[in-house]
Amino acid sequence: MLVWFYNRKHLAPPKKKKKKKRMFHIKPRTIFLNAVPKLQKSISTSRTCQSNHKLASFLEAAKMPEKKLRKLVFPFEDLERHLSSKVNTSNFHLFQPGFEDIKRAEMFFTPSKNQKIDYFTSAVRMDHAPLITQSEVSENARSETAAMRVCFIGRSNVGKSSLIKALFSLVPETEVRVSKTPGHTKKMNFFTVGKAFTLVDMPGYGYKAPKDFVDMVETYLETRHNLKRTFLLVDGSVGLQHADRIAIDMCEEFGLPYVLVMTKIDKAKQGELLRHILEVQEVIQSQTVGCFPQPFLVSSLHYSGVYLLRCFIAHVTGNLKLEPS
């Protein structure tokens, strides 16, 4: 079993000298927030927005011009033209569904009378995690696909909760906590997606990881045979970190089928982002066996790549068969 992310001297950022907070500013609202730090913290942690984002639905996004739509759905296509012709980009187009497939995939992320999507439970230990036979959605939902699970894991502050929030943005009442404070997720959170699958939100690793991270997460990943795919998130604005490489080694050791997802692609300059993308691609090609060859690029803020990721999840869980291209 791997020794996980607990060399805190290496992972933790250098301590900074505390600056005295200025309690008085020109704007009255700022005075109030600085004077009440607990309130300020609670504001940064919120539920999924009560009204859908204008781009939450692909059906709405499809109203824009096709060139803009393709840039939104397939963000790598817009970046690809800036690469040298000598760079092999074939692996970036392995999963290339049509717009009709993406539209059908959205149905699995849209609540209806027969499709309930909601937070189910949390667990801090393996014996707390729901069993395959447990009625997670309903007595009639114990099918092969209903038992399928996907999990999201990544370094603290990689944007994992924000991405899950974007995936579930068509379900405003679903509680997905998002915080500006790294390491906010301390438990394994389970979200049921109707009869289709269950999504598991794992605590972040690295700095601010919970103390029982190894016993909780590593054990779950190693023993859950109904785990269809693990989505390993990498911060696209900073690239692969040491802790990410350890996580990749863990997935390889356990023989997990997994995918690398690069988040926050809107936060990096174009040149830096391309460098980070090619670095990730090189690692996938030369150092992995179980990783899907195509990295996925997403921006939770602008919904870039979110529709494509929804489609991939629906496909790998056996719920969506792609139409022949």
pLDDT single digits (tens) 61-76: 999 999 999 999 999 9
Does the pLDDT of residue 269 top 80, yes or no?
yes
- Cα–Cα nearest to 280, from 235, 318, 325: 235
What is the pLDDT averaged over residues 94-108? 97
| SS3 of residue 108 by DSSP | helix
| SS3 of residue 55 by DSSP | coil
What CA–CA distance (Å, rounded) separates 146 from 157? 30
What is the pLDDT averaged over residues 26-50? 39
What CA–CA distance (Å, rounded) separates 245 from 287? 10
Does the pLDDT of residue 305 top 80, yes or no?
yes
Alpha-carbon distance values, 283 to 153, 278, 280 (Å): 18, 9, 5
Q: Strand pairing of 188-193 and 197-201?
A: antiparallel
Angle of the 66-73 helix axis to the 306-316 helix axis, nearest 10: 60
Does the pLDDT of residue 7 top 70, yes or no?
no
Through-space distance between the first and last CA atoms of the chain, rounded to whole angstroms: 43
What CA–CA distance (Å, rounded) separates 228 from 290? 12
- Cα–Cα nearest to 279, from 268, 295, 267: 295
What CA–CA distance (Å, rounded) separates 109 from 111? 7
Please, what are the domains in the chain? 46-316 (3.40.50.300)
Q: Band the pLDDT of 231: cuts 50, 70, 90.
A: very high
Name the token pair of 128: 């707390």
pLDDT of res. 18: 52
Percent of the chain whose predicted confidence (pLDDT) is above 70: 72
Weakest-pLDDT range from 183-192, 256-265, 310-319: 183-192
What is the pLDDT averaged over residues 153-158? 92
Residues 217 and 203: beta-carbon distance below 8 Å: yes
Length of the chain: 325
